[in-house]
Amino acid sequence: MTEIYPILTPAQHALLSARHHNPFEVLGRQLENGENLLRVHLPHAVAVWLSPDAPLQRLGDTALFEWRGEMPSLPYQLQWQAQDGTLHTTYDPYSFPSPLLTDFDLHLFAQGQHFYAQRFLGAHPCEVAGIEGVRFAVWAPNAQRVSVVGDFNQWDGRIHQMRVREGVGIWELFIPQLPTGTVYKYEISHRETQSVFLKADPYAQGAEKRPNTASYVVPITQHQWDDQAWLEQRAQPNAWLRQPMSIYEVHLGSWQRHADGEFLSYRELAEQLIPYVKKLGFTHLELLPVSEHPLDASWGYQTVGFFAPTSRYGSPDDLRYFIDQCHQNDLGVLLDWVPGHFPKDAHGLAWFDGTALYEYADPRQGEHRDWGTLIFNYGRNEVRSFLISNALYWLSEFHIDGLRVDAVASILYLDYSRQAGEWIPNQYGGNENLEAIDFLRQLNTIVHQECPGVLMIAEESTSWPQVTRPTWVGGLGFNMKWNMGWMHDTLTYMSQDPIFRAYHHQHLTFGMLYAFSENFVLPFSHDEVVHGKRSLLDKMPGDSWQRFANLRLLFTYQWTYPGKKLLFMGGEFAHGLEWNEARALEWSLLDYPHHSGMQLLVSDLNQLYRQYDALHRYDFEGAGFSWVDCHDAGQSVIAYMRRCEDDELVVILNFTPVPRHGYRIGVYHPGLYREIFNSDAQQYGGSHVTNSELLSEELPWMNQRHSITVTLPPLAGIVLQRVI
């Protein structure tokens, strides 16, 4: 029986069968038996030339061609004829210098200490040996072979096989004359099973719009930032601690849409969303994840392209423009970031090289069954480099002002949403993920070192201690934490019919026992208005008037209570339906007075919060708050003071629909008090039960030497200021 390739070496056999880990050992300029030769691999060629009078010889009936003669200078061009007769001219990728990546970059990456890994991994337009092209690099240590594939090579994994850097498992290749915008994936052959599959680039900075799943080569950014003044101000040490922060949480795809249902682009959002939010008085936007995700209904929380801004709304530079415009309008931008899990989509990170590379291998550690996703392996150095680099990518290259880290509890606890026997204890027998704790501390330390003034905010739903305390005292190192307990208690209370609220008074008062144990954000987020939970308005009891009055009262309570503020889009005008990511908000509701009145109330609350230092200077310190009376459960009334060195405000909230005339409260200072805010005002849709100027009496009350009598409007809150 005649052999098919009688003249081929084992290395050449491996290359032709797409099993070679270093094609540079076979292709390009070679020295064999003391003779210089040039070898190329062109599976779709019938003839190849260095020049018209320098044809290469085909080796048997293979796709290998050789030249033996005077060697051309590197890099060299090839002319070749395809099977359909067309002629092509191209540089040989294997004629360019190799290796491309520095040993130092590879060492830091393998140690979990490379914090800008996206700068050498992924697809990067660059120039090598004077020729423009794209440098590709990907981590796949258990692959037998990795190739770059796309339309440019007919998705044929035999053509652009990559070279592995031994010891670290990173594959690299420079493809000359490849333009930006080129769509590509990696074709990976598993070392053991020889199975072949396609993967999107984990470090790609651009991805096709769904339902397509390939990566594309993003051009070097052309955006010229104009927010230097903003960044300098942001970097002032601990400036955020005593500044007002009122956050408008938004899902870009459903805030507003075109008449035909198409998304607004990042640039269109800059024209429409920014002035809207600024007019309402919010200080920050918080974007639900804008990393590429295949399923709209995941809202971005099942991320596949961690380094790729979603193409739903435009290009990466379009997103840069949007953020730049926010900063020029004194509006900060926070981004929801998801380092806790990733989906199992075939083109994503799951079993990336045929093994559990980014995730824990044991499903008792590596799978979120509730969400159908996989958990990052926080103990693996390369995964840490990936995640920390991703955080710094958004913060440094997009000038994001802070990351709201999603689902921190699921990261911290090994038994999160698991029954007995479904999880593996740590080395001490506990349920804490020690690797994840160490990762979070490292993450926050590096972020604060690299990006001064940037905020790290934890969505952490348990009583884990010291989430917002420095790492050097044993904390996790976050700046702020969502106060999920306050949110749940408050909504539980507000959902009660007022006649029963006297029996749930503790839901209003309990939160103050721990209010200053962490730096808290008070969130009414998207999670509270989906999946049958109803809109904020529909959570409120009573008839139509009472529901609106309750919601106005709820917002008054939120904006005057210690902590930074967060409200999901639509809440500001009492959106009637649950949020649905598939359609825009019902903006036509603003034609109705109660809805437009709610919008005005939120705007005025933001103005009040920003204007009076007493409402924000000591959001995280007990010095800024004291109870006036927290015991009047029978009438469902609470009263408290918000204060700072040069300002003091009295807040009184009536959680029943009964107006209360002659209600006496104690005050520390004698003098004349005036009402500076009333949620029952007519312009908000209220009944306009208000107070004129109030002169204190020297009548001790509520452990104070002086007191005043006020009229409490129904289901409303008032704010008083001493004027003299």
Q: Mean pLDDT over residues 23-44, rounded?
A: 92
Calpha distance 274→279 (Å, rounded): 8
What is the tens place of the pLDDT at every residue in 425-459? 999 999 999 999 999 999 999 999 999 999 999 99
- In this structure, what CATH number is given to the domain that contains residue 356? 3.20.20.80
Q: Around Cβ 59, how many Cβ atoms within 10 Å?
A: 17
- Please work out, in degrees rounded to the nearest 5, the angle formed at the alpha carbon of residue 649 by the alpha carbons of 626 and 652: 75
* pLDDT at residue 46 tops 90: yes
Q: What is the mean pLDDT of the chain?
A: 95
Which residue is it, tokens 């590596």?
A: 366
573 close to 256: Cβ distance less than 8 angstroms: no
495 close to 534: Cβ distance less than 8 angstroms: no
Using a CB cutoff of 8 Å and minimum separation of 24, what contacts does 537-545 make? 537/574, 537/575, 537/576, 538/576, 538/578, 539/491, 539/494, 539/495, 540/494, 540/495, 541/495, 541/496, 541/497, 541/498, 542/497, 542/498, 542/657, 544/594
117 and 160 belong to one structural domain: yes
Q: Considering the domain boundaries, does residue 554 fall inside one?
A: no
Helix axes 484-494, 544-560, angle to 10 degrees: 150
86's CB contacts (< 8 A; 6+ apart) are none
Q: Considering the domain boundaries, does residue 643 fall inside one?
A: no
Task: Determine the pLDDT at residue 3.
Answer: 44
338 close to 330: Cβ distance less than 8 angstroms: no
Q: Considering the domain boundaries, does residue 491 fall inside one?
A: no
Task: Determine the pLDDT at residue 32.
Answer: 86
* pLDDT at residue 710 tops 70: yes
Peptide bond into 211 cis (omega under 30): yes
- Please work out, in degrees rounded to the nearest 5, the angle formed at the alpha carbon of residue 50 by the alpha carbons of 49 and 51: 85
Last residue of a domain, which of 79, 95, 111? 95
Calpha distance 247→525 (Å, rounded): 10
Calpha distance 176→125 (Å, rounded): 10
- Please work out, in degrees rounded to the nearest 5, the angle formed at the alpha carbon of residue 180 by the alpha carbons of 174 and 186: 55
Which residue is it, tokens 């290395």?
A: 11
Calpha distance 487→472 (Å, rounded): 30
CA-CA distances (angstroms) from residue 488 to 179, 225, 508, 533, 644?
A: 52, 41, 11, 12, 28
Calpha distance 317→315 (Å, rounded): 5
Structure tokens at 211: 């339902």
Q: Considering the domain boundaries, does residue 574 fall inside one?
A: no
Calpha distance 356→163 (Å, rounded): 22
Task: Determine the pLDDT at residue 369.
Answer: 87
Calpha distance 315→299 (Å, rounded): 19
Q: Which position has the higher pLDDT, 573 or 692?
A: 573
Looking at the chain, the whole-number percentage of residues with pLDDT higher than 70 is: 99
Q: Considering the domain boundaries, does residue 673 fall inside one?
A: no
Task: Determine the pLDDT at residue 567.
Answer: 98
Structure tokens at 1: 């029986």
558's CB contacts (< 8 A; 6+ apart) are 490, 522, 524, 565, 567
- In this structure, what CATH number is given to the domain that contains residue 159? 2.60.40.10
36 and 148 belong to one structural domain: no
Helix axes 103-110, 381-392, angle to 10 degrees: 100
Q: Considering the domain boundaries, does residue 383 fall inside one?
A: yes
In which band, very low, low, confident or very high, does the pLDDT at 193 lie, cut at 50, 70 and 90? confident
Rg (CA), the chain: 31
Task: Determine the pLDDT at residue 8.
Answer: 86
Residue 262, amino acid: E
Q: Around Cβ 542, how many Cβ atoms within 10 Å?
A: 14
84 and 148 belong to one structural domain: no
- Please work out, in degrees rounded to the nearest 5, the angle formed at the alpha carbon of residue 453 by the alpha carbons of 447 and 459: 65
Q: Mean pLDDT over residues 410-428, rounded?
A: 94
Q: Around Cβ 721, how many Cβ atoms within 10 Å?
A: 16
Helix axes 266-280, 593-611, angle to 10 degrees: 70
Task: Determine the pLDDT at residue 186.
Answer: 98
Calpha distance 343→303 (Å, rounded): 7
Task: Determine the pLDDT at residue 5.
Answer: 44
- Residue 290 exposure: Cα atoms within 13 Å on the Cβ side: 32
Q: Considering the domain boundaries, does residue 66 fall inside one?
A: yes
Q: Considering the domain boundaries, does residue 617 fall inside one?
A: no
Distance of CA 534 to the CA centre of its chain: 25
390 and 259 belong to one structural domain: yes
What is the tens place of the pLDDT at every residue in 128-145? 999 999 999 999 999 999
276 and 145 belong to one structural domain: no
CA-CA distances (angstroms) from residue 137 to 106, 110, 162, 569?
A: 11, 14, 9, 40
Q: What are phi and psi of 119, to 5 degrees?
A: -80, -20
Q: Domain range holding 165?
A: 103-216
Last residue of a domain, which of 432, 452, 482? 482
Calpha distance 43→307 (Å, rounded): 33
Structure tokens at 657: 């629909």
Q: In 3D, which of 640, 638, 712 has the Cα closest to residue 679? A: 712
Q: Which position has the higher pLDDT, 303 or 52?
A: 303
175 and 306 belong to one structural domain: no
Calpha distance 363→356 (Å, rounded): 10
Question: Which sign, positive or negative, has the C-alpha torsion 680, 683, 688, 691?
Answer: positive
The predicted model scores a pTM of 0.95
If phi over 0 gives left and psi between -120 and 50 gives alpha, with beta otherwise, what is residue 242? alpha
Task: Determine the pLDDT at residue 6.
Answer: 52
What is the tens place of the pLDDT at every residue in 360-401? 999 999 899 889 999 999 999 999 999 999 999 999 999 999
Task: Determine the pLDDT at residue 7.
Answer: 77
Calpha distance 560→553 (Å, rounded): 11
Work out the end-to-end distance of the chain between its first and last CA atoms, rounded to an integer number of angstroms.
Answer: 109
Runs of H (alpha helix) within 159-284: 228-234, 252-255, 266-280
246 and 314 belong to one structural domain: yes
28 close to 39: Cβ distance less than 8 angstroms: yes
307 and 405 belong to one structural domain: yes
256 and 316 belong to one structural domain: yes
89 and 107 belong to one structural domain: no
Q: Number of folded domains in the chain?
A: 3
So which residues are the catalytic ones? 406, 459
Q: In 3D, which of 668, 656, 673, 659 has the Cα closest to residue 705? A: 668
560 close to 606: Cβ distance less than 8 angstroms: no
217 close to 123: Cβ distance less than 8 angstroms: yes
- Residue 223 exposure: Cα atoms within 13 Å on the Cβ side: 20
Task: Determine the pLDDT at residue 2.
Answer: 45
318 close to 264: Cβ distance less than 8 angstroms: no
Question: Which sign, positive or negative, has the C-alpha torsion 71, 77, 81, 84?
Answer: positive
Calpha distance 468→479 (Å, rounded): 5
430 and 407 belong to one structural domain: yes
319 and 209 belong to one structural domain: no
Last residue of a domain, which of 95, 119, 142? 95
